[in-house]
Amino acid sequence: MLIGATLPATNLHFFQARRASFRRYGSPLNPSANSVHTQTVKTETTKKHLSNLEKLLQSQSRKPQLLDNDSRGEIHPRESRRSNGSKENRGKNLLEGLNLSRIWPEHKVAEEMSPRHLNKLKKLLSSNSIEYSPRNNLGSRWKEYHGCKDWLGLIDPLNENLRRELIRYGEFIQAAYHCFHSNPATCNECDTRKVALPDKSYKVTKSLYATSSIGLPKWVDDVAPDLGWMTQRSSWIGYVAVCDDRSEIKRMGRRDIVIALRGTATCLEWGENFRDLLVQIPTKIESESESSEGQAKVECGFLSLFQTAGVNVPSLAESVVNEVQRLIEQYKGESLSITVTGHSLGAALALLVADEVSTCTPDSPPVAVFSFGGPRVGNRSFADRLNSRNVKVLRIVNNQDVITRVPGMFVSEELDKKLRESGFVSGMLNVLDKSMPWAYAHVGTELRVDTRMSPFLKPDADVACCHDLEAYLHLVDGYIASNCPFRANAKRSLAKLLSEQRSNIKMLYTSKAKGLNLNLEREHSFSTPSCLPSPSS
């Protein structure tokens, strides 16, 4: 807000009337300030400042009306131009124009508690202001957003179209969490109708199941028959969906096939997570490049969930390949893309899925992976194998999320990169990569967010919050660049985050939510009795 838009030059008599008081009092920290010389200097300085202020007010009052652009691109006149010109409004606008919150903290608190800010906070806490898809036409650039150039120039700072794409794919994972159930024996293809997709331009075509190769003893069912979900080896893990809306296909520049996978939710899946020894991926034909550079290996538990078939369902690998092949054949001749997205365990399985579908057909469409909070999956040879198959991976990583640093040696990717740049150490690490059973390596491009950058989350948020999917989407929504604060115009609703991570939200906002009388539990409850909630709930 501009000062000239609020105060005419005639109001300067207010400052001139106070000029004598400036000479009357000295600083208690500087007794010499009471001298005549000092008073003369202060008087001259005051005159100079008042003269400059008068010139500023006169020049600003002659400027034309200024317009503001809101986040939707609509143009509105500034609030100060719509004032009635009353003395009360001019005085209020003067205080706002002087921006006293930078000088005195109490004014900053008053500004945060102003009705304007409370209305914005109430909207964030009570309304689900999710934008399902970018409104901009991706057109001929869709391959860049899909990773054909490894997202060069789109991450730091974060491109607005890419931001919205990431949030949309994260919401596909949330739909998988909400529809999770653990009894595939009662499931059929009609269960795909239960998946409430956030983007109505997609339709679900296939349910996916993961099966553990380990199991609990049968006596567990006899002792606790109500806890059968603990011994159930096969569980619903996600789904395949395809865009079937013509206008959306035109906007995106292609028909998109999405494979969404949830994170760990069952007892046996947790057991598989701890089987962290690297094992070789069984392949029918071993290529010459793999035999010379080393064998591609992945975590034992992840591979087990991916390739093990259940009693009533095929393996995840078989299901996803068959469905992708069917869709490619159905839409033959169209421009297609395959997007695999997952969180936590789903992020790990997403890499195995992408590796498998990248060679399922002779002319496979471009394959990209968008993972949230994913652990390490395989060794460096596995990463090289994905690169050789042109699989593009964008990993969204929270700096405080410990899950992204396991399994394997607890070493940051930055340190590993620096060590490999030196000749002697690099040679030692290459030897360890081929011999050690825990020599893991991350894959792809990284987008690193930080819980401490959020103005709503506590800087010491616990492990569950730092790994929570909704917290990830909140951080992506507010991310601008690596050296920038949380963006002020972030619009994603805080209601779900506050409902699930209340203890990790700053007290200022939880108290305001109570003051606004918001019933967050009622607003964000899911009426699906046959489905278990997200494990992060």
Mean pLDDT of 164-193: 74
Q: d(Cα 455, Cα 183) in Å, to the nearest integer?
A: 41
pLDDT of residue 47: 63
**Better pLDDT: 38 or 243:** 243
Q: Which candidate in 401, 433, 468, 477 is catalytic?
A: 401
pLDDT of residue 369: 98
Q: How many CA atoms lie within 13 A of 10 on its CB side?
A: 2
What confidence tens digit (pLDDT) does each residue in 379-392 have?
888 999 999 999 99
Which two tokens mark 293?
A: 């550079």
Q: pLDDT tier at 30 (50, 70, 90 boundaries)?
A: very low
147 pLDDT more than 50: yes
pLDDT of residue 512: 62
Q: pLDDT tier at 429 (50, 70, 90 boundaries)?
A: low
| Segments of 270-312 assigned E as strands | 278-280, 297-299
Strand order in the sheet with 367-372: 202-211, 234-243, 255-261, 336-343, 367-372, 391-398, 445-449
Look up 536 and say whether it is catalytic.
Answer: no
90 pLDDT more than 80: no
In one-letter notation, the amino acid at residue 529 is P
Q: Are 289 and 181 spatial neighbours (Cβ–Cβ below 8 Å)?
A: no
474 pLDDT more than 70: yes
**Better pLDDT: 299 or 419:** 299
Secondary structure (DSSP) of 443-463 = -SEEEEE-GGG-SSB-TT--H
Q: pLDDT tier at 3 (50, 70, 90 boundaries)?
A: very low
Percent of the chain with pLDDT over 90: 40
What confidence tens digit (pLDDT) does each residue in 294-317 have?
789 999 999 999 999 988 899 999
How many C-beta neighbours within 10 Å does residue 533 have?
14
What is the rounded end-to-end Cα distance, in angstroms, of the chain? Answer: 42
Q: What is the mean pLDDT of the chain?
A: 74
pLDDT of residue 534: 30
**Better pLDDT: 169 or 65:** 169
430 pLDDT more than 70: no
Q: d(Cα 164, Cα 92) in Å, to the nearest integer?
A: 38
What confidence tens digit (pLDDT) does each residue in 249-280 have?
999 999 999 999 999 988 889 989 999 888 99
In one-letter notation, the amino acid at residue 48 is K
Q: d(Cα 168, Cα 473) in Å, to the nearest integer?
A: 9
Mean pLDDT of 46-59: 61
Which two tokens mark 77?
A: 């006149």
pLDDT of residue 368: 98
451 pLDDT more than 60: yes
Q: Are 221 and 228 spatial neighbours (Cβ–Cβ below 8 Å)?
A: yes
Do the bridges between strand 202-211 and strand 75-77 make them parallel or antiparallel, or are there none, so unpaired? unpaired
Mean pLDDT of 419-426: 60
528 pLDDT more than 80: no
pLDDT of residue 411: 55
Q: d(Cα 131, Cα 205) in Å, to the nearest integer?
A: 23
Q: Which candidate in 80, 182, 315, 344 is catalytic?
A: 344
Q: d(Cα 159, Cα 518) in Å, to the nearest integer?
A: 33
Superfamily of domain 135-284+292-449: Alpha/Beta hydrolase fold, catalytic domain (3.40.50.1820)
Q: Are 103 and 465 spatial neighbours (Cβ–Cβ below 8 Å)?
A: no
Q: What are phi and psi of 394, to 5 degrees?
A: -115, 115
Look up 344 and say whether it is catalytic.
Answer: yes
